[in-house]
Amino acid sequence: MIGRLNHVAIAVPDLEAAMAQYRDTLGASVGAPQDEPDHGVTVVFIELPNTKIELLFPLGEGSPITGFLEKNPSGGIHHICYEVDDILAARDHLLAKGARILGSGEPKIGAHGKPVLFLHPKDFTGCLVELEQV
């Protein structure tokens, strides 16, 4: 059902410093910040030859990243994202297998302009999983 790894998301306490570290220290291609108000984050994508890194920074009050950074003040891996061909079929399959979908269960549009869903970390060995339709 799942396809390739789309990205690994890292929550960061200082977006500019994290961007500079990837760009200046690691020599990576770092995109521009983009606000995602529906998800409460500002994201920056770092393009790698085989996948992407997504830097996450809180946007506005009540950002889901704020709580994560309170528990992990230095930042850290927040979630991994896998591609799926059909997000509704994937959702229905996962629900039938007993997995929990976060939120309403209806896909939202993610940072790439494609439908996404998040799966409860307790169902996936403590890892928050994002599915993105390709």
**Which H or E run includes 14?**
none
Yes or no: say if 81 and 132 are a contact pair by the CB < 8 Å rule: yes
Could you tell me the two tokens for 9?
């998301």
Nearest Cα to Cα of residue 26 among 53, 1, 66: 53
Respond yes or no: is residue 47 known to be catalytic. Answer: no
Sequence-distant (6+) residues with CB within 8 A of 52 are: 6, 7, 8, 45, 46
**Residue written as token pair 């927040």:** 78
- Strand-pair category, 108-109 with 115-119: antiparallel
Choose the catalytic residue: 54, 83, 130, 132: 130
Residues annotated as catalytic (active site), given as ranges: 130
